Chain A
Amino acid sequence: MDDRVIIRFDHVTKQYDDDLPVLDDVSFEMERGKFYTLLGPSGCGKTTILRLIAGFIEPTKGDIYFHGKRMNNVPANKRQVNTVFQDYALFPHLNVFENVAFGLRIKKVPKVDIERKVKEALRFVNLEGYEQRAIHEMSGGQRQRVAIARAIVNEPDVLLLDEPLSALDLKLRTEMQYELRELQRRLGITFIFVTHDQEEALAMSDEIFVLNKGKIEQRGTPKDIYDEPVNRFVADFIGESNIITGTMIDDFVVEFANQRFTCIDRGFAKNEQVDIVIRPEDLELTTVERGKLRVRVDSVLFRGVHYELCCYDAYGNEWLVHSTKKAEIGEEIGLHFEPEAIHVMKRNGGE
């Protein structure tokens, strides 16, 4: 077996009582030293995967392997995994130093080493000099850093992060995204990051798992997922997009909006019904004569970086366009796009 694999899920199902399974027969592998993101709407099972890895819950069916060893019944305190919790879960009765030292004290690390390691961990997260502070004296961002320091000081093989940025304001969140990514590179350990924010996932990850209803819909690099979503759910969840139904006439020829277009997809059955995705930023505003599509502008929103135009074609399809050019409401415009911009997906399912 490949020894780069650090975590393996083998047909894992988690079910509470007789409810629908939260996690439904999931199998995957994760490699050492990568930044993984579990992305999905609430209730999709992403936190369940995290809790299974941490050891807070046990799978109903299936096996979990760490370094090739089955870990199903190993309790949380015996796993080489540490977690940064959504609410940070810092101990309110201990100061910053003692919070970070907690894991080391339990492992009976010599006092001198504790002192050194805690200082080092706090320097890592830019919190030098805060050792004696009480937790309630720290701001949200600082608490976040303490939580990270408390986890990494134990030198885990895997660091689990459960929506750790969701409680921060936008500016701080963006800042922490950079810092987390940087931290992962410096430490070289596996990060598993749970979020429902697709921008966060795209910005930080080596690989993204998109989850829905207890199943992995797609896994791949941010670019894969963004450019080649396998189905409507992924395309919709990963970013704003135009999803319309169409027919695959032949290899490299697709029909939608009552017109035929050249595309770069193939391997579908003749005349198969498909979903078409075109990203709003791939649509280019042009004159009616030069456009491949002819649409009428319904609304215009100024978004700062670009205008967001909502248009309708003659067949009632909605087209979202991101453009730096402005158009008037009610105006007839043309839309131009490249063959590469057309992403063809099978109806309800994988590619």
Chain B
Amino acid sequence: MRRYAYAIPYWLWIGLFVVAPIILIIYYSFFDIEGHFSLVNYQTFFTPVYLRMTVNSFWYAFLITACSLLIAYPTAYLLTKTKHKQLWLLLIILPTWVNLLLKAYAFLGLFGTYGAVNALFETIGIGTKQLLFTDFSFVFVSVYIFIPFMILPIFNALEKLNPSLIDASRDLGASEWTTFRRVIFPLTLDGVKAGCQAVFIPSLSLFMLTRLIAGNRVITLGTAVEQHFLVTQNWGMGATIAVFLMIAMAGIMALTGNRKWGVRQ
């Protein structure tokens, strides 16, 4: 049974780094702050404070995903039309190699009261604005960080699209817009879904940006998990929130990725 022997590293990896942590999180979620076994954390989660936080998280994740999609789709589309598309694509991917924290700090400098953006506003006569610690800057920076993950799958889907399908649609009388609506978009939907997954799921549990860019004005489930583990030391509650986050993610995966588990083509 050598075939199974080759699979051992895989199963070890899955066991150690995927299954075990999940079991641990579920295990911790059943202990209150004093270390007694109880369901109190689950009760707490369904109080208005946490429910509002959940709604907040979903709302911001939705905003970030929607903005990314709106910018990423046209960008990816234009990218497929350019001459040196691989170069442009590389330039878009490049920022993902830079540490998230560094990028966040860069924006602190740019958006600060004496930052470059405000200096520009001053010169063109708009005047200094409070940019940091607003919902806007939070969504803006998040979109900036996540957008490559949205562009890439859409770009790939557009690249795979047979160009004669577009000719065929035009040939049959469809205008450019109709061609997009009835042929291009439906055929790149898988790329859009993959992109939405890659943006929505991580933005659901964003935490560092909420503090650095949004100045704790935006409190999401991710922030709550971080605070419970590092500040209040209430591991049980943090784990409980993590359990709900995982359930939400699984739900999204099932919703957007139905192709992978559905009927094979």
Q: Which residues of A approach B to under 8 Å, CB–CB?
A: 54-56, 75-78, 81-83, 85-87, 89-93, 102-103, 106-107, 136, 150-151, 154
Contacts and interface: CB of A to CB of B under 8 A. Distances in A.
A56 B170 contact: yes
B82 interface: no
Contacts of A86: 164
Contacts of A77: 170-175
B232 interface: no
A91 B172 CA distance: 12
Closest 7 A/B residue pairs (Cβ)? A103-B172, A89-B168, A89-B164, A76-B170, A106-B173, A83-B171, A77-B173
A349 B183 CA distance: 47
Contact of B168 (A55, A85, A136): A85
Interface string B172-197: 11110010001100110000000000
Interface in B104-120: none
Nearest to B167: A56
B126 to A, nearest CB: 43
Contact of B171 (A76, A90, A91, A92): A76
A87 B164 contact: yes
Contact of B174 (A81, A83, A106): A106
Interface string B205-216: 000000000000
Nearest to B187: A93
Given A56-B167, A85-B164, A87-B162, A107 B173 contact: yes
7 contacts: A77-B175, A83-B167, A85-B168, A91-B165, A91-B169, A91-B183, A150-B172
Most interface-central of B172, B174, B182, B187 (chain A CB within 10 A): B172
Contacts of B162: 87, 89
Contact of A89 (B165, B178, B265): B165
A102 B167 contact: no
A154 B182 CA distance: 18
A151 B171 CA distance: 9
A102 B169 CA distance: 8
